[in-house]
Homo-oligomer: A and B are copies of this chain.
């Protein structure tokens, strides 16, 4: 099971970035996202998308990150531009275990670097947690996102021109 833990979410500043992190988690194979700050609006948005587009993705906000980490039975990965190389790290991570993936907002407290079994970088340049997460999940799941079925009420049919949408 893949679970994402989003820390340091500031409701006003990060609302769109955190929403994108949650959507990426869902689309790239995670089962659940925990967000440390309570945010009813983001819960509502994500649940509304799940209702329409399918899948059993879950969201819970207002959680205590240390509690989640301490009770986690599995591997903990923290995505960071300071972390070790992706390809090198991926080889060491046992994909049979459950995995908790921590993604920060601004400055991440040192505790999380220590708590993680693996601090992993998607390149060592500044970019985005919204980019780091799908690249990590792409490699970790060997691209399973591209074959995943969501069985939603809305289904989009890939098309080179126009929009092909099936509404059930």
- Looking at the assembled complex, report how far the CB atom of A166 sits from the nearest CB atom of chain B, in whole angstroms: 11
- Looking at the assembled complex, report how far the CB atom of A5 sits from the nearest CB atom of chain B, in whole angstroms: 18
Query: What 0/1 pattern do residues 119 to 141 of A give for CB contact below 8 A with B?
Result: 10111111110110111001000
* Contact assessment for B150 and A85 in the assembled complex, using a CB-CB cutoff below 8 Å: no
Once bound together, how far apart are the Cα atoms of A89 and B160, in whole Å? 9
Which B residues are CB-close (under 8 A) to A81?
A: 156
- Give which listed residue, B124, B138, B161, contacts A113 with CB less than 8 A: B161
- Since A14-B16, A27-B126, A127-B134 are in contact, a sample of 18 more A-B pairs with Cβ atoms closer than 8 Å, ordered by chain A residue number, is A16-B16, A20-B128, A27-B125, A28-B127, A82-B163, A83-B159, A84-B158, A84-B160, A85-B146, A86-B146, A114-B161, A121-B156, A123-B145, A123-B148, A125-B150, A128-B130, A130-B130, A134-B134
Residues of A at the B interface (CB closer than 8 Å) are 13-14, 16-17, 20, 23-24, 26-28, 49, 53, 81-89, 113-114, 118-119, 121-128, 130-131, 133-135, 138, 145-146, 148, 150, 155-165
Task: Sample 28 A-B pairs with CB under 8 A, ordered by A number.
Answer: A14-B16, A16-B17, A20-B128, A23-B125, A23-B127, A24-B127, A28-B123, A82-B156, A82-B162, A82-B165, A83-B158, A84-B158, A85-B146, A86-B146, A88-B158, A113-B163, A119-B159, A119-B160, A119-B161, A121-B156, A121-B158, A122-B134, A123-B148, A124-B157, A127-B134, A130-B131, A131-B131, A138-B138
